[in-house]
């Protein structure tokens, strides 16, 4: 393939994925509200459109038309930079996540991933680490005590859980022998999903993903009763929406990562024995990926409305004294398993 | 080699465009009628007192330093993990034990920090 073909194909894929992501993010907010209402025996949004289906658009338009207030006590440039960093991370990390097997269109072999790079997992880790800057900057530059406390808490929480996350991923790399997400998915054929081979690593990664996305039970940075809104107390209009959208986009990315690393990605076990044509198999595999991501997203929301918030010392104890040793045990266990099998 | 990174750079550029666009749209579309009350720091309705440039508990700095140490350890483990199967078929058990020794040495550091109360938040 020459250079221009690559660029044109990637632009088409980017347009497709960006549209899907923006739509999913807005509807994830809607589904979160509907599911929370269902859990708490309420009705939820039902006024705007059929069953409240236009509610996300109403919310976004309302935020567009609101005044953008920058407080006098803030450092203006960094105050503006923080939501940009947060959004950048949220809308770039999905680049390396494959959502289906390679397909043949017009004689071109096209992988169903935006960027099929052999350092994929390293890029994911690098970009998600950048997310800490957005939160630290917003907390520090707002010039508010609530923001400062929220930002400092949040950055300490995110870096603590990043370590157990990194060690859990090392367990996956032992089995896949590659940092390419596509190779990691291919190493989990049949029922050889990493969630079954290394359940401890799966659990530490899952818990770390909750902590990294600042979701309940680990949403201390924005604990409303004590910190008002945490690091985004001083933001309004679309800058506030930026943090809000980024939280949901990060949820989708975390679910995609969990599915890719531990739940077999787009693979459907034993689909080749069903005797379907190759087109149908591809369709089913793409569908399976979105179904798995949806299931993990539902789990995220379910946990939020079931488990109360942790105390800060409990959170740090869990991260450093429980998750970190468990992730190490998992790494040694997978290494022994690989040696026994070879 | 390098051409597989072209789509990645395109995605990063798109992400910058989306992020700047969304943040800029709020100042472009929304009204601008600032006054002193709006621009003061929010403190649950009372007049803000003191400054937000407070000193922060030393615990956070300790956590940040420990993070750098242990995150470096993770980076050392990655190349070993990716090459483990192929190295094991050539060199056998030592591939595993050398990494185990490395991890044990780091765990001594971890236990030292634990014992000194580096992870206590009470």
Query: What are A266-287's pLDDT values in tens digits?
Result: 888 887 777 777 788 888 888 9
- Name chain B contacts of A63, Cβ cutoff 8 Å: 26
A67, B30: Cβ pair inside 8 Å? yes
- Give me the mean pLDDT over the A298-326 stretch: 88
| pLDDT > 90 in chain B, percent | 9
Residue B85 pLDDT > 90: no
Q: Are residues B27 and B67 in the same domain?
A: no
B55-83 mean pLDDT: 87
pLDDT computed for residue A224 by the predictor:
65
State mean pLDDT over B47-55: 76
B60: chain A residues, CB-CB within 8 Å: 152, 155-156
Instruction: Return left, alpha or beta for A177; rule: phi > 0 is left, psi -120 to 50 is alpha, else beta.
Output: left
Closest partner residue to B67 (CB to CB) among A146, A160, A234 is A160
Is A222's pLDDT higher than 70? no
Residues A84-115 as b or e (16 or more Cβ within 10 Å = b): bbbbbbbbbbbbbbbbbbebeeeeeebbbbbb
- Chains A and B: how many Cβ contacts under 8 Å? 222
Q: Is residue B110 located within the same domain as residue B61?
A: yes
| pLDDT confidence bin for A233, thresholds 50/70/90 | confident
Is B75 within the bounds of a domain? yes
* pLDDT of amino acid A225: 66
B93 — contact with chain A (CB < 8 Å)?
yes
- What pLDDT score does A295 carry? 93
Please tell me the predicted confidence (pLDDT) of residue A73: 83
Q: Is residue A85 part of a domain?
A: yes
Q: Which residue has the higher pLDDT, B43 or A77?
A: A77
Least confident of A186-190, A286-290, A298-302: A186-190
Is the residue at A247 inside a domain?
yes
Considering only A183-187, A245-249, B117-121, which range has the smallest mean pLDDT? B117-121
Q: Which residue of B has its CA nearest to A66?
A: B30
* Among chain B residues, CA nearest to A82: B23
Region A53-61: mean pLDDT is 87
Kindly tell me if the per-residue pLDDT of A318 is higher than 80. Answer: yes
- What is the C-alpha separation between A92 and B4, in angstroms, rounded? 16
| Residue B103 forms part of a structural domain | yes
Looking at residues A90-116, what average pLDDT do you find? 81
Task: Tell me whether residue B81 is in a domain.
Answer: yes
With contacts defined as CB-CB under 8 Å, which chain B residues touch A13? 7
At residue A204, the pLDDT reads: 93
The tokens 């050539």 sit on which residue?
B90
Where in the sequence is the domain holding B4, given as residue range(s)?
Answer: 1-31
Contacts A312 to B, Cβ<8 Å: 121
How many Å lie between the alpha carbon of A308 and the closest alpha carbon of chain B? 20
Residues B8 and B65 in one domain: no
A221: confidence class by pLDDT, cuts 50, 70, 90: low
**Is any Cβ of chain B less than 8 angstroms from the Cβ of A67?**
yes
**CA distances, A160 to each of A75, A121, B71, B119, B121 (Å):** 27, 19, 10, 10, 13
Residue A123 has which token pair?
A: 């890029």
Chain B contact set for A321 (CB, 8 A): 114, 119
Q: Would you state the pLDDT for residue B122?
A: 67
Report yes or no: B38 at the A interface, CB cutoff 8 Å. yes
For the segment A8-17, the average pLDDT, to the nearest whole number, is 86
Enclosing domain of residue A78: 69-341
Q: Check CB contact of B97 with chain A, cutoff 8 Å.
A: no
pLDDT of residue A3: 80
- Residue A11 touches chain B, beta carbons under 8 Å: yes
Determine if the pTM surpasses 0.80.
Answer: yes
Residue B111 has a CB neighbour count (10 Å cut-off) of: 10
In a domain, A238, yes or no: yes
Contact across the interface for A170 and B74, Cβ inside 8 Å: yes
Separation in Å, CA of A39 to nearest CA in chain B: 30
Any A CB within 8 A of B13 CB: no
Between these two residues, A133 and A220, which has the higher pLDDT value?
A: A133
Is the CB of A146 inside 8 Å of chain B's CB atoms? yes
Pairwise CA distance, residues B54 & A119, whole Å: 41
CA dist., res. A93 & res. A253, Å (int): 7
**Position A18 in a domain:** no
- The pLDDT score that the predictor gives to residue A223 is 66
Burial class (CB in 10 A: 0-12, 13-18, 19+), A273: exposed
For residue A169, the chain B residue with the least C-alpha distance is B78
Domain membership flag for residue A34: no
Residue B47 DSSP code: P
ipTM above 0.90, yes or no: no
pLDDT in tens, A166-193: 899 999 998 888 888 888 888 888 788 8
Higher pLDDT, A308 or A272: A308
What total of structural domains would you count in chain B?
2
A20-28 average pLDDT score: 88
Disruptive mutation site among A69, A109, A160 for chain B (greatest number of B CBs within 10 Å) = A69
What pLDDT does residue A297 have?
92
Would you state the pLDDT for residue A1?
Answer: 66
Residue A200 is predicted with a pLDDT of 92
- B49 or A133, greater pLDDT: A133
State how far the Cα of B15 lies from the Cα of A187, in Å rounded to an integer: 30
- B84–A66: do the CB atoms touch at under 8 Å? no
List Cβ<8 Å contacts ≥24 apart for A28-36: A28/A248, A28/A251, A28/A252, A28/A297, A29/A56, A29/A59, A29/A244, A29/A248, A30/A55, A30/A56, A31/A297, A31/A301, A32/A248, A32/A301, A32/A304, A35/A298, A35/A301, A35/A302, A35/A305, A36/A301, A36/A304, A36/A305
Question: Whole-number mean pLDDT of chain A?
Answer: 86
Domain shared by B65 and B101, yes or no:
yes
Residue pointed to by tokens 């793409």: A286
Give residue A212's pLDDT: 86
Characterize the bridge pairing of strands A108-110 and A103-105: antiparallel
- Greater pLDDT, B77 or A100: B77
Nearest CB to B30: which of A10, A65, A92? A65
> b/e string for A58-71 if b means 16 or more Cβ within 10 A?
ebbeebbebebbbb
The residue of chain A nearest to residue B26, with distances taken between CA atoms, is: A238
Nearest CA in chain B to A125: B75
Instruction: Name the residue in chain A with its Cα closest to that of B75.
Output: A166
Which of A320, A327, A338 should one mutate to test binding to chain B, selecting the residue with the greatest count of B CBs within 10 A?
A320
**Same domain membership, residue B14 and residue B64:** no
Cα(B111)–Cα(B75) distance, rounded to whole angstroms? 20
The answer to whether A168 contacts chain B (CB < 8 Å) is: no
Is residue B113 included in any domain, yes or no? yes
A146/B8 CB distance under 8 A: no
CB A114 within 8 A of CB B11: yes
Chain B residues near residue A122 by CB distance under 8 angstroms = 78
Query: pLDDT band for position A339 (50/70/90)?
Result: confident
> A90-99, A245-254, B14-23, B35-44 — which is least confidently predicted?
B35-44
Is residue A16 over pLDDT 70?
Answer: yes
């Amino acid at each position: 393939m020459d250079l221009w073909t690559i660029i044109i194909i990637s632009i088409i894929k980017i347009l497709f994925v960006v549209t899907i992501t923006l739509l999913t993010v807005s509807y994830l907010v809607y589904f979160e509200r509907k599911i929370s209402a269902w859990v708490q025996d309420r009705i939820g949004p039902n006024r705007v459109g059929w069953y409240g289906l236009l509610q996300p658009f109403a919310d976004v338009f309302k935020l567009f038309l609101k005044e953008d207030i920058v407080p006098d006590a803030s450092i203006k440039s960094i105050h503006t930079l923080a939501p940009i960093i947060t959004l950048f991370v949220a809308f770039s990390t999905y680049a390396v996540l494959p959502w289906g097997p390679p397909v043949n269109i017009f004689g071109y072999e096209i992988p169903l991933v935006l960027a099929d790079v052999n350092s994929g997992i390293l890029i994911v880790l690098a970009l998600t680490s950048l997310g800490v800057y957005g939160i630290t900057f917003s907390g520090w530059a707002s010039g508010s005590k609530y923001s400062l406390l929220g930002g400092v808490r949040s950055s300490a929480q995110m870096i603590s859980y990043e370590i157990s996350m990194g060690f859990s991923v090392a367990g996956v790399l032992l089995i896949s022998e590659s940092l390419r997400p596509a190779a990691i998915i291919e190493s989990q054929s049949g029922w050889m999903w990493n969630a079954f081979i290394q359940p401890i690593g799966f659990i530490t990664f899952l818990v770390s993903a909750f902590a990294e996305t600042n979701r309940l039970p680990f949403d201390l940075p924005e604990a409303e009763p004590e910190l008002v809104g945490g690091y985004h107390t001083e933001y309004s209009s679309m800058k506030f929406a930026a943090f809000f959208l980024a939280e949901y986009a990060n949820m989708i990315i975390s679910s995609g990562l969990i599915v890719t690393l531990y739940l077999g990605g787009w693979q459907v076990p034993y689909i080749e024995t069903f005797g379907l044509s190759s087109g149908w198999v591809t369709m089913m595999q793409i569908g399976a990926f979105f179904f798995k991501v949806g299931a993990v997203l539902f789990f995220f929301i379910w946990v939020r409305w079931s488990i109360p918030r942790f105390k800060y010392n409990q959170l740090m104890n869990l991260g450093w004294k429980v998750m970190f040793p468990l992730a190490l045990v998992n790494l040694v266990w997978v290494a022994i398993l690989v040696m026994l099998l070879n | 080699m390098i051409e597989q990174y072209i789509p990645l750079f395109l995605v990063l550029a798109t992400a910058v465009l989306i992020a700047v666009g969304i943040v800029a749209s709020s100042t472009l579309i929304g009204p601008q009628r600032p006054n002193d009350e709006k621009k003061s720091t929010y403190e649950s309705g009372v007049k803000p007192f003191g400054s937000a440039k407070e000193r922060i508990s030393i615990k956070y700095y300790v956590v940040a330093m420990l993070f750098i140490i242990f995150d470096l350890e993770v980076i050392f483990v990655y190349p070993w993990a990716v090459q483990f199967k192929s190295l094991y078929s050539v060199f056998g058990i030592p591939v595993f034990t050398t990494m185990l020794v490395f991890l044990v040495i780091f765990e001594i550091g971890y236990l030292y920090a634990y014992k000194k109360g580096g992870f206590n938040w009470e």
